[in-house]
Amino acid sequence: MRMSRGIMAVVSVAVALCASPAFADHDSSRPRGLSALLPNLFGTNGILLAPPTAGFSHAAHFTAASEAQLTVLNDSLRGQLSNIPLPSPAGSFTFSFDPSLGAFTRSTESFGPIYSQRAETTGRGKLTFGGSYSRFTFDTLDGVDLGNGDLKVTFLHEPTGASVGAPPFFFEADTITASIFADITSDVFVLSATYGILDNLDVSIAVPIIHTAVRLKGVAKINRIGTGAAVGIHNFSNGTDTITVRASDESTGLGDIVLRAKWNFLNPGNTSLAAGLDFRLPSGSEDDLRGVGTPVVSPALIFSARPLFGVSPHAQAGFHFSTDRSKLDHELFYAVGVDWALFRPLTFVFDLLGRRVIDNQRVRAGQSLGGTKIASSDIIDASIGVKVNVWKNVIGVANVLVPLNETGLRDKATPLIGLEVAF
């Protein structure tokens, strides 16, 4: 491309004006900790290029729409990482007082579900302690593979011409395409306790300790649509049109503590009904992706039935009410499944677990620039596990959580192991 010296001078001066007050770094408004890795992967003010011809400085530049793509991705990561499912703190053993024996006896043969609840309570004065460990190795975000660079972002040039009252300059047609590779894991330790206040009233607490590691790589390439390959206006600091950047961090700490009460208020025939109420405290760090940053209240109705050929069905449905919908949407949640006492020391557990976001407005991740398709409102998993009475009142737990759709940040399979002791 041929250009006069005058045009080159105008171009160089215009490029130097790319720094925009709208993209100044305001620390108070930007995410911090692990939540800041993705938005700042290419720099806090955009991608900084090498100085062009004539030695003028070259400011970081991209449009708000480009930055919004990273915001959408980051909001998806934050929302899912801070709201990963926790196993139920309810005890595996249930007891009732037998007047003829003058003692408490087991009231159910099976040991109950793992990620959901049954209506039966643990029994007055009975105490259960539990601990579990699960590992999430996230593979996809809204169906887009996180490990192979399928997650892409396009950066557009700042409207430099408009900033000086001129038509768009030819170099504004250049774009930068970036592929993002993400390795995200969460190790979740949950300590729980359940106590029977009354024969039909339990209270529980679940305390998660979460270790999250995020490792990101971005490969960015300049698309010389306006300048052409022979013009060195746009280059990365390495002198080429391609650059690789990396960022990683990890954090360990307290997650959001869950307090629970369950009241078994009705036992007609061979069925039981209970009302449950969970209160999720914002005790986990929102910046380090261990908590949602707002209290959540979750009322639920719980059903279970006496076993038929050793199979006990159970179901529950309720709502997650967030006190700050800018951080977490209201959700309908439900679970339906069976616990099957194959023989007295062993229970097989299967559950279908679902959440539906109410008035969902989250933009689906991985769309091209300007994409506005809303992500699915449903998150559905299958929980498959066993509970084994390993010794006296000690229960061993093993489970795998498998996604049944692709909404949000998902792991192909999440293993869990645990132990419970009843007193």
Q: What element of type H or E holds 12? A: helix 5-16
In this predicted model, which residue has the larger pLDDT, 11 or 337?
337
Q: What are phi and psi of 98, to 5 degrees?
A: -100, 105
- The reported pLDDT for the residue numbered 161 is 81
Are 366 and 130 in contact, with CB atoms under 8 Å apart?
no
- The reported pLDDT for the residue numbered 240 is 87
| Bridge partners (DSSP) listed for residue 401 | 383, 414
Give the mean pLDDT of 170-187: 91
Q: What are phi and psi of 372, to 5 degrees?
A: -125, 15
* Alpha-carbon span 207 to 142, nearest angstrom: 29
Q: What element of type H or E holds 385? A: strand 378-391
* Alpha-carbon span 79 to 283, nearest angstrom: 16
CA dihedral sign, ordered 99, 105, 108, 113: positive
- Beta carbons within 10 angstroms of residue 29's beta carbon: 6
Q: Coil, helix or strand for 417?
A: strand
Predicted TM-score (pTM) of the model is 0.87
- pLDDT > 60? residue 56: no
Per the structure block, which two tokens stand in for 131?
């601990």
DSSP state of 376: P
- How far are the Cα atoms of 79, 118, 164, 236 from residue 53, in angstroms, in the given order? 44, 71, 20, 13
* Alpha-carbon span 80 to 146, nearest angstrom: 14
* Alpha-carbon span 378 to 372, nearest angstrom: 18
| Bridge partners (DSSP) listed for residue 209 | 189, 254
CA dihedral sign, ordered 156, 161, 167, 169: negative
- pLDDT > 50? residue 3: no
* Alpha-carbon span 78 to 68, nearest angstrom: 15
Per the structure block, which two tokens stand in for 158?
């700042």
* Alpha-carbon span 299 to 313, nearest angstrom: 21
Per the structure block, which two tokens stand in for 242?
């391609």
CA dihedral sign, ordered 61, 62, 68, 72: negative
| pLDDT tens sequence across 213-264 | 999 999 999 998 988 865 567 888 888 889 999 999 999 999 999 999 999 9
- Beta carbons within 10 angstroms of residue 309's beta carbon: 6
In this predicted model, which residue has the larger pLDDT, 288 or 11?
288
Torsion region of 27: left, alpha or beta (phi above 0 gives left; psi -120 to 50 gives alpha): alpha
* Alpha-carbon span 73 to 153, nearest angstrom: 10
The residue written with tokens 């645990």 in the block is 418
- The reported pLDDT for the residue numbered 1 is 43
DSSP state of 29: G
Domain ranges of the chain: 5-74+150-179+219-246, 84-137+186-211+251-422
CATH class for the region spanning 84-137+186-211+251-422: mainly beta
- The reported pLDDT for the residue numbered 97 is 61
Are 397 and 417 in contact, with CB atoms under 8 Å apart?
yes
* Alpha-carbon span 215 to 197, nearest angstrom: 45
Q: How many Cα neighbours within 13 Å face the side chain of 313?
A: 7
- The reported pLDDT for the residue numbered 30 is 54
CA dihedral sign, ordered 402, 406, 412, 416: negative
- The reported pLDDT for the residue numbered 213 is 94
- How far are the Cα atoms of 3, 97, 190 from residue 14, in angstroms, in the given order? 15, 83, 56
| pLDDT tens sequence across 96-131 | 666 665 555 666 778 999 999 999 999 899 999 999
